[in-house]
Amino acid sequence: MLGKKLVTAQKRGETRALCLGLGMVACSMMMYFFIGITIVPFYTKSVWTTETLCKVLKANIKDKVLCPDSEGSEDEDIFPYPCLQVWVNLTASGKEVMLYQTEDTLERNPKCSYVPDKLENSQEVKARIETIASNFKKYHTFPCYYDPGGIRTDVILSRLYPPKGLIFAFLWPTLMFTGGCLIIVLVKISQYVSVLSAWQ
Could you report the per-residue pLDDT of 8-63, keeping only the tens digit for each? 556 777 788 888 989 999 999 999 999 989 888 888 888 898 888 999 998 888 87
In a domain, 7, yes or no: no
**Strands 96-100 and 79-90, sheet pairing:** antiparallel
pLDDT at 4: 53
In a domain, 186, yes or no: yes
What domain range includes position 58? 50-160
φ/ψ of 47, rounded to 5, equals: -95, -10
In a domain, 110, yes or no: yes
Let me know whether 97 and 154 are in one domain: yes
The tally of domains found in the chain comes to 2
pLDDT mean across residues, the chain = 81
**Rounded CA separation 65/50 (Å):** 31
- Tell me the whole-structure pTM to 2 decimals: 0.69
Distances from the Cα of 143 to the Cα of 53, 64, 173, angstroms: 4, 28, 31
Let me know whether 115 and 187 are in one domain: no
Q: Give the residue, 135 or 123, on which the prediction is more confident.
A: 135
In a domain, 38, yes or no: yes
